[in-house]
Structures are given as C-alpha cells and as structure tokens.
Amino acid sequence: MRRKVIAGNWKMNNDLKETQNLISKLTSGLSMDNLNCDVIVCPAFTSLSEAHTLLKDTKIKLGAQNMYFETSGAFTGEISDSMLKSVGCEYVIIGHSERRTIFGETDELINNKIKKANLSALKPIFCVGELLEEREAGITEKVIEKQIRSGLMDISSEEMSNIIIAYEPVWAIGTGKTASPEQADEVHKFIRSLIYDKYGASISENVIIQYGGSVNNKNAKELLSKKDIDGALVGGASLKSDAFIEIILAA
C-alpha cells in the first residue's frame, strides 16, 4: 500500500512574512499525530531557510521548486543541490511545465538535474505532462513516454526508488480544468507500466505518482480515490491554508 504524498507548490508567491503566516496556519490547523499522508511544501528560495526553522518540529517536509545541476560557479541566478540541502530541503521539483515552457528546459537538462539531485539525496518530484494540442492530437502517451524515458535516462533502480513522479497535464495547470479522475488514472497506469518495463515489479508498485493540475478541496477526494493516483502536486489551492488542509485530510 503506497502512502499518499501531498505537495504544495507555492510558485512565485508569498514573501517572507506571507510564508511565515501560511506555515503558521498550516501547522496550527493540522494535527500532526493523525497525519495519514506525507506533506511537503515548496516555498520560494528566499523563504526556504525560515520555512525550515518553522517546520522543524512538525511532520511537514520542505522542498524547493527548482535547482541547477552544476555544483557551484559562474551560473548567475541559479541554485545548487548542496545549497538546498543546507537550508533543510529534502525534495526538489524538477521539470515543472512552467520551467519547460516559459524557461525552455529540455528533457536533457531535466535529466541532468535529476541525476544531480540524486547524488545529494534530494528527492526529485519529476514532472511530466502533455499540452492541450498534444492531447487533442491523441499523442498523450507518446509525449509522456518520451519525457519519462529521457528524464530517467541512466537513473539506477536505487535512485529511482527516491523519485516521485508528478503527472501534470499542462492544460489543467492553473486553468480550473482538471483531468477527470478516469483520464488521470489512465495516464498514471501508463506511467507505472513504463516504470515496470524499465525497473521491474517492485519499484513500479512502490513509485509514488502524484496528479497535478487544478487540484482543489472539492475534487481532491475523488482524484485521490483512484488506485494509481498516489497524491497531488497542488499549486493555487496550496496557497490557501483551509483548502490545502482539506486536501491533506482527503488523502
């Protein structure tokens, strides 16, 4: 039985004070002893250190939204795995569709980042998902297969057991349009079959595959009831403590 994982991707929202407020509402609103799922929050880089301090005695884990694959050096504006580790991150989102589409990240770059994150034991939340025109053209599986195969190139079985996959159809992100639970579950099953082909039964049965794209407190329960949907990567609704807590409780 896979334990569900709910992650909040706060994107480019919340300054330091707003981060402190949101964390304080989450920690006071959740009963840590009765949490039946893993919870991760991914604030902006500038708030990670403070978030780590505030979350220290709670069960909420910390993640970052991106990283670069080099160790250090002349990469203005970038951040490394060891920097993220040093402020308490355990997870890092890699290959989010906004990174792919707005910042031009390629499958190869994403693969390098996943490899580097693994080296420092940061757990990647590796995002994949098709565009609306790709779904309409009937090539969703082809697109997902390419993203999965390229992103996981040269990733060992041992490394794979640290990786969470997030299926986020791009047309559902921030649009209010969610994939139906059936549509999502179908792609999740397909992703699990790709992991089975490459890594075998045990890893494919244990890999966490989150759904992301307009998850909210109204639709979370039904999505999370599907057999192959092991959690959610939540954007907009994770910025509102009440809605995010409801999603966590639905898991």
Distance from C-alpha of 53 to C-alpha of 50, rounded to nearest angstrom: 5
Q: What are the distances in angstroms from CA 147 to CA 108, 138, 157?
A: 10, 16, 18
Closer residue to ligand PGA, CB minimum distance, 114 or 234? 234
Angle subtended by helix axes 16-29 and 241-250, to nearest 10: 40
Closer residue to ligand PGA, CB minimum distance, 199 or 235? 235
Distance from C-alpha of 115 to C-alpha of 119, rounded to nearest angstrom: 6
Q: Which chain residues interact with ligand PGA by CB under 6 A?
A: 9, 168, 173-174, 212-215, 233-237
Q: What are the distances in angstroms from CA 195 to CA 42, 108, 169, 190, 207?
A: 26, 19, 19, 9, 8
Closer residue to ligand PGA, CB minimum distance, 124 or 235? 235
What's the closest the beta carbon of residue 238 comes to ligand PGA, in angstroms?
7
Would you call 222 a catalytic residue per the annotation? no
Closer residue to ligand PGA, CB minimum distance, 10 or 199? 10
Residue of 96, 98, 130, 188 marked catalytic: 96
Strand, helix or coil for residue 78: coil
Would you call 188 a catalytic residue per the annotation? no
Q: How many residues does the chain have?
A: 251
Angle subtended by helix axes 140-151 and 181-199, to nearest 10: 40
What's the closest the beta carbon of residue 157 comes to ligand PGA, in angstroms?
27
CA angle 86, 87, 89 (to 5 degrees): 95
Q: Which residue is nearest to ligand PGA (CB)?
A: 235
CB within 8 Å of 53: residues ≥ 6 apart: none
What's the closest the beta carbon of residue 172 comes to ligand PGA, in angstroms?
6
Closer residue to ligand PGA, CB minimum distance, 9 or 241? 9
Residue of 105, 130, 134, 168 marked catalytic: 168
What's the closest the beta carbon of residue 202 comes to ligand PGA, in angstroms?
28
Distance from C-alpha of 58 to C-alpha of 241, rounded to nearest angstrom: 16
Distance from C-alpha of 82 to C-alpha of 71, rounded to nearest angstrom: 7
Which amino acids are annotated catalytic? 96, 168
